[in-house]
Chains A and B, each alone.
Chain A
Amino acid sequence: MSSIVHELRRTRRERRLGQLEWFDVAYRAYLVALVGGGVVVWLAGLVRDVEVSPALLQDVVGRGPSVLGLAAAIAMALGLRSGSDGGPVALEVADVRHLLAAPIARREIMVLPVIQRLRSVAFAGAVIGGIAGLLAADRLPGSKAAWIASGAGAGACTGLLFVAVAVLVHTLRVPRAVATIVAVVVLGTQTAAAADWLPAGPGDTIGSLALWGFRQHLVDLAGVAVVLGAVIAAAVLAGRLRTEPLVRRADLVSQLRFAATMQDLRTVVLLRRQLRGEHARATPWVRIGRRRGAAAPAVWQRGLRGLARYPASRLVRMAGLGLAAGAAAVFVLRGTTPAIVAVGVALHLLGLDALEPLSQEIDHPDHTDATPRARGWLLVRHLAAPGLAIVPFALLGAAMVTAVEPGQAAAAFGLAVPVALAGAAGAVVSVVRDAPDPIAAPTSTAVPPEFAGFTTTMRLLWPIALSTLGALPILAMREWPSAGAAVRTVVGAALLIGVITWWVRRRDEWRRKVQAFLAEGRAARVR
């Protein structure tokens, strides 16, 4: 019977390959290689600016395995969560309906998707690890090839660990609460090891593997053996993946892929929340009482009510992003300039999570249009509650910086809130820009095909670049550590926030004027 499934998959693969536009594929590969290669070379160039000192080298050798092991611990924790939520495998909807309903042993159907998932995540991990190895080679002793190979190996193991743990948790039906507790224990232990409070953590051997470019410890192979054991167990147990989560995920993942293809970030965020089963709380954490008064407080109140229903998982994720931004800031302060991008990305994601009330307004344009207010007036008032919500997570990031670099405490707490808000400004641009545009001219989206790829890339990267711009005060504090510089950077961050807020308020007006101007120009040419 399995031969029929193989035959179907082969036929469909051949058909897909036959329908591929090879020139288009080659052009995309060329673009990825060009842009990706350029970014890697640029990052490598940035890393070279600060040489590693013997003391720092000693620190890397001593604490490196535990710090790098955090990536493996995070992968394990994510795997635990994903598996308990029904991940990590998603079938095609038609496969769920027809193949899973057929009298064939489930293992014959499921083993291939599990292997494909292992393969793709391991490859992504290897690429990220390899790039990290390349960057490390610029500051640490050892050959480039050895660093790239060890980074790629550790990255692949981390990816495999995520998928294998997720499959095992799913097939063994580990309850979500238990998986969360284990994930917290794993992360807590590894964090304690990274902070030198414990001698070792569960991810140390994988972290140590990443340092094989400099020195090799055979004991690290034990970690690799555990990962491979988990992979084999996952492949053996693939047939026990539950049908109901596969049904639920199949539909959501097909929508998710479509949304990702369309670069519809908001839909991607919403679908990912559905995949994780993340819903607004039926009972709010805090009840925001009724108040009478003007329209502006009503919008703020609506925002606070939305925030009061955030599920615990989202709050934990936001805390994690605050801590991650803090950790990346420490790397920046210690001389790894490219980590500023990680700060920007973490703050961007934190902003996307915090901006839910604004996003809800954007998702329901009919409501917005039905109010007797300008869209900009309404949207700009939706920024208040999320701005407030970011504050505790920003302070968490500052606490992280202070824990690792106690000498930077004053700067960390002084800059945390303006930097976090300026970082979230990129997320504001991303959310507002993707809103349905009531005043767009029908031809305004027509872009020549030669520029489509470039425009798409810029569209995706521009808000993240803005978030990174918001994080620049950290870099400034490293280069010019003084109170005067701190004040100047806070003013800069405030300016960025002000400009974005003004843009949200006046965007429609400006666009209307530009369109009227262009229309007048066209009319004059016709005359």
Chain B
Amino acid sequence: MTAMIEATELVKSYGDAPAVGPLDLTVTHGQRVVLVGHNGSGKTTLLRMAAGLLEPTEGSIVVAGQEVASVSARAATSFLADQPVFYDDLSVWEHLEFIARLHDAPDWEPRAAELLDALGLDGRGDDLPTTFSRGLRQKAAIALAFCRPFELLLVDEPFVGLDLAGREALLALLDQAHADGATLLVATHELTTVTASERVVALRDGVVVHDGPSGETDVADLVTR
């Protein structure tokens, strides 16, 4: 199996304060991996480095066989961040159009409509997402992450603010993406999502303290220890 994410001797520090690493991690094509750990364990930093938003202090990270943040890597990676960000002056539908066209998404319109419907945002397409509640903003961000083609989906705390229907819709979208062959790396405190994944990676103080199949892992023990 080829590697979708390959981190080698990866280190990120802010001045003297270490955030991640040294860390070695390989995620192969099509894997569904859950990243767990305490607050400040380095989950978000790792995801942001994989998304090309943070530069490693030392070591390297390769995504889809390409240098991270290169044009090919960006084409392959969709990042659903913990804080949704939107343009102040574009509606949900205009955001979807813009993102889909930037990523050369074929037939984006039916896909976008389907996503809005699945997330309970049908009828809200012409509204400005900046006027939404936290939960609705998260749903709009999920639609943006899924409306474009990707091989790797990086997800950071996706369930924050979501209602029950939203959580179920997101889990279904993650299942579908995985079934379509995408690689998923999901950072979460939501332990119920772990059962759907095939591998659990636990971080503590920026280093991997556990890496194994989800069925054999007592995740609650990992994050409370």
Contacts and interface: CB of A to CB of B under 8 A. Distances in A.
A266 to B, nearest CB: 25
A243 B89 contact: no
Contacts of A96: 53, 85
A354 B75 CA distance: 49
| Chain A residues touching B, majority SS | helix
A294 B40 CA distance: 40
Contact of B103 (A12, A103, A243, A244): A103
Interface of B: 15-16, 51-55, 69, 71-72, 74-75, 77, 79, 81, 85-90, 94-95, 98-99, 101-104, 144
Contacts of A243: 52-53, 55, 69
Most buried by B among A12, A92, A97: A97
Contact of B71 (A5, A12, A94, A104): A104
24 contacts: A4-B102, A5-B102, A8-B98, A11-B94, A12-B87, A12-B90, A16-B89, A94-B86, A94-B87, A97-B81, A98-B85, A98-B95, A98-B98, A98-B99, A100-B52, A100-B53, A101-B51, A101-B79, A102-B99, A102-B103, A103-B72, A103-B74, A105-B71, A247-B54
Nearest to B52: A243
Given A4-B98, A98-B98, A98-B102, A92 B69 contact: no
B85 A282 contact: no
Contacts of A174: none
Contacts, number: 65
B89 A104 contact: no
A527 interface: no
| Chain B residues touching A, majority SS | loop
B16 A282 contact: yes
Interface residues of A, number: 28
B87 A92 contact: yes
Contact of B85 (A4, A5, A11, A94): A94
Contacts of B103: 102-103
A437 B77 CA distance: 49
Given A4-B101, A98-B102, A98-B144, 12 more contacts: A12-B90, A15-B89, A94-B86, A97-B81, A98-B87, A100-B53, A101-B79, A102-B102, A103-B104, A243-B55, A244-B54, A282-B16
B85 to A, nearest CB: 4
Interface in A80-116: 92-94, 96-105
Contacts of B55: 242-244
Contacts of A19: 89
A277 to B, nearest CB: 9
Top 8 A-B pairs ranked by shortest CB distance? A103-B75, A102-B102, A97-B85, A94-B87, A244-B55, A103-B71, A103-B74, A4-B101
Given A97-B81, A101-B51, A243-B53, A1 B102 contact: yes
Interface string A1-31: 1001100100110011001000000000000
Contacts of A93: 85
A99 B90 CA distance: 14
B159 to A, nearest CB: 20
Contacts of A97: 81, 85
Most buried by B among A8, A16, A94, A96: A94
Nearest to A102: B102
Contacts of B81: 97
Nearest to B56: A244
A98 B84 CA distance: 11
A471 to B, nearest CB: 38
A505 B4 CA distance: 64
